[in-house]
Amino acid sequence: MNWPLYEVFIRGRRGLNHVHVGSLHAPDDEMALRNARDLYTRRNEGVSIWVVRAKHIAASSPDEKDPFFAPSGDKVYRHPTFYEIPDEVPGI
């Protein structure tokens, strides 16, 4: 018997994103949340937990990483440093 694998995400404090912390096995969503609480927040490490079945996560593949991320590589104009502003202009 093998319970499904869940990935666990924790919000450490209010104002922060949920961050992936690891995984666990559980028979259903509710048990996954309870197990995640016991496993990953024994010392108040979180204020909110997400669990999601690992099989429901779609991930980009490392083999295709160069073409996949290439479209953003040549768009330097998306960065503020692309623009020349004279030093004497304040506050920009």
Partner 1 sequence: MTGSFEEIIARDQRIEPRDEMPDGYRATMIRQISQHAHSEIIGMQPEGTWITRAPSLRRKAILLAKVQDEAGHGLYLYSAAETLGVDREDLTERLISGKQKYSSIFNYPALTFADVGVIGWLVDGAAICNQVPLCRSSYGPYARAMIRICKEESFHQRQGYELLMTMMRGTDGQRRMVRDATDRWWWPSLMMFGPPDAESPNTAQSLAWRVKRHTNDELRQRFVDLAVPQAEALGVTLPDPVLRWNEERGRYDFGEVDWTEFKQVIAGNGPCNAQRIAQRRAAHEDGAWVREAAEAYAAKEAVA
Instruction: Say whether residue 68 binds partner 1 (CB under 8 A).
Output: no
Distance in angstroms (rounded) separating the CA atoms of residues 15 and 11: 8
Instruction: Out of 47, 48, 53, 69, name the contact with partner 1 by CB under 8 A.
Output: 69
Binding segment for partner 1 (CB under 8 A), chosen from 9-17, 39-47, 79-87, is 39-47
Instruction: Out of 24, 46, 49, 51, name the contact with partner 1 by CB under 8 A.
Output: 24
Instruction: Say whether residue 3 binds partner 1 (CB under 8 A).
Output: yes
Which candidate, 56, 58, 54, 36, places its Cα nearest to that of 45? 36
Other Cβ atoms less than 10 A from the Cβ of 12: the count is 16
* # residues contacting partner 1 (CB under 8 A): 23
* 31 or 52: CB nearest partner 1: 31
Burial class (CB in 10 A: 0-12, 13-18, 19+), 51: buried
